[in-house]
Amino acid sequence: MSKQHYEHIRNNKNFQDLVARRSKLSWTLAALILIVYYSFILVIAFSPDLFGIPISDDSTITWGIIIGIAIILFTFVITGIYVHKANTSFDQILKTVVDASHEHVNSQDSNESDRGDK
Amino acid sequence: MDDMNVTAIIMFLIFISATLLITYWAAKRTKSASQYYAAGGGITGFQNGLAIAGDYMSAASFLGISALVFASGFDGLIYSIGFLVGWPVILFLIAERLRNLGKYTFADVASYRLKQRPIRLLSACGTLAVILLYLIAQMVGAGKLIQILFGLPYEIAVVLVGILMVIYVSVGGMLATTWVQIIKACLLLFGATVMAFLVLKNLDFSVNNMFSQAVSIHDNGIAIMAPGTLVTDPVSAISLGLALMFGTAGLPHILMRFFTVPDAKQARRSVFFATGFIGYFYILTFVIGFGAIVFISTNPEFMDETGALLGGNNMSAVHLSKAMGGDILLGFISAVAFATILAVVSGLTLAGAAAVSHDLYASCIKKGQAKEETEVMVSRIATICLGVMAIMLGILFEQQNIAFMVGLAFAIAASANFPVLFFSMFWEKTTTRGAMIGGWIGLISAVTLVILGPIVWVDILGNAKAIFPYKYPALFSMSAGMFFVYVISVLDKSKAAEEEREAFGDQFVRSMTGVGIETSSH
């Protein structure tokens, strides 16, 4: 039963587009978070003094702390962007793809049963 | 804390009664395997986000990270960020595929188109290794914490935790475990918020004021505002980063949470909320750690004769609660710390029991022919066995250095569980032989390198020099695991391998759409 659905969905142009767009977005965002995180880690490993610089002369707060907190916020925002995109526009396209496969499989089934009647 | 804190005990008893009532309620709704393992898939994204955050915000991370900030300032933030950045990766690459392909355990997904028995055996061993290490760490931590907070003897505390967790899990299944986790997450977030608020209020809401006072009080002075000694060489830095980031994506008790929501949409929402709560929580622990430097490190009330903190640095958050809000806040935070341990060990135990009953018993021994009732029964028995083991190991390891255990658990999760899961979902050419050999190599090399590394080989076994020089093995063991999954799969020319590659097409469509999910989960 599902086999026919899979076949139909796989060959659906809209599905292929959707998969391409979604994986482009997810790999881009994944690369982004990896770059941000490893830049952070590599600064700590190679030149930790950079993070000890205060943000202004009369402040104790250092760039390290600002950047650290910013990474936490960035992590949250970046998941928000993906979830919003995936749960609205991507899921909408997905629904039409899946509905089309149901229709296709159902019509095939009824054709077969029609033939069976005759 | 000589005089028993009445508030703590009352709040703790309220928590226990409430969670036992929930367990009773959940037990009546838990009949089928799907209800037992996955709460029937009826948890919403928001609830699951809280529960995931609850699984992640263990007593170790609340007390441990605030203690790390208390001891060395900025370094605490490095840890927090490492633990947090795994979440977007899980969302972008794992969450929806996992939800669309799996039923109860991550082995369902790893073995979806591969041979059931060898892959499930591997995943179950990876799961049990991670779970047991984690459980020991939590039990020992729990025993010591309860000893200090409530004055109970260590053994009694460990037995009490063990019994309560067995009741929650074996009677109430995933539904009870999830709600215990949600309640605890709310209590912990509330308690930590109140503490951070009081810290800032006492400093006229000036963050700069907090940092300058901390710098003037702390022995290391201005050094606490910059990276210190936590990460020294680049190899360790990258290796720790890998373990934290990809280890999270291979933790069985976390992955299992994705099967409690109905679809991929809710699975994604779970990660969004979880990331928000966890990130917020880490910012709070940072403020709490600095608050502890300002308000308790000079207060003789919290010192012993030598000038060290009573009960060790791990108690800094607990002492701070007393300094900020008196006995009421102290009681509340103590009760929350205990609740946190109970909730986390319950989640761990359920994941371990599911590996035994669903992967080992139903798939490996009964070859998928097990009756549903028997499988759930096996799971309940496994829960009791795990509870007994956790109690015994907790008592056995009381005097041992357990600091390496959570690190090792993350290393195994990143080196054995994650590569197999990742390759089977993403790479068409993965075969059973490749996944099996690569997975075992990842698991064995992670364990071996930790034993040969400085923490176990030098600190625990007392040898002069470590055979493997780095504390964190993930860079090597995870690379080895992934390399062998790849190479062995490429070299695999068997007929079975051909069929497994062909099956990727259908698996891919299902992982992207969730079509077929209705027929397999009921």
State the distance between the two ends of chain A, measured CA to CA, in whole angstroms.
24
ipTM of the complex: 0.90
Whether residue B194 is predicted with pLDDT greater than 90 in this model: the reply is yes
CB < 8 Å from A in window 291-310 of B: none
Q: Is pLDDT of A116 > 50?
A: no
Contact pairs from chain A to chain B, CB under 8 Å? 163
**Chain A CB within 8 Å of residue B503 CB:** no
Half-sphere exposure of B36 (CA within 13 A, CB side): 21
**Residue spans per domain, chain B:** 6-400
For the stretch B281-300, what's the b/e string if a residue is b when 16 or more beta carbons lie within 10 angstroms of its beta carbon? bbbbbbbbbbbbbbbbbeee
Quote the CA–CA distance of B451 and B448 in Å, as a whole number.
Answer: 5
For the stretch B59-100, pLDDT in tens is 878 888 899 999 989 988 988 998 899 999 999 999 999 999
| B519 touches A at CB < 8 Å | yes
Report pLDDT for B407.
Answer: 81
pLDDT at A30 over 50: yes
3-state helix, strand, coil in chain A (%, to 5): 90, 0, 10
Instruction: Test B211 with A98 for CB contact under 8 angstroms.
Output: no
Residue ranges of domains in chain A: 2-109
Contact A19 B272 (CB under 8 A): no
Amino acid letter, A118? K
Interface test with B, best of A26, A28, A73, A79 (most B CBs within 10 A): A79
Q: Which residue of B has its CA nearest to A81?
A: B272
Q: Which residues of B touch A86 (CB under 8 A)?
A: 96, 265, 268
| Chain A contact set for B286 (CB, 8 A) | 69
* Record: contact B275-A30, CB cut-off 8 A: no
Distance of CA B504 to the CA centre of its chain: 31
pLDDT digits (tens, 9 = 90+) for A39-73: 998 898 888 889 999 998 888 999 999 999 999 99
SS3 content of chain B, % helix, strand, coil (to 5): 80, 0, 20
Please name the member of B87, B226, B279 whose beta carbon is closest to the beta carbon of A52. Answer: B226
Contact A41 B207 (CB under 8 A): no
Q: What's the token pair of residue B69?
A: 């900030």
Task: Give yes or no for A29 touching B (CB within 8 A).
Answer: yes
- Is domain B6-400 given the CATH code 1.20.1730.10 in the classification? yes
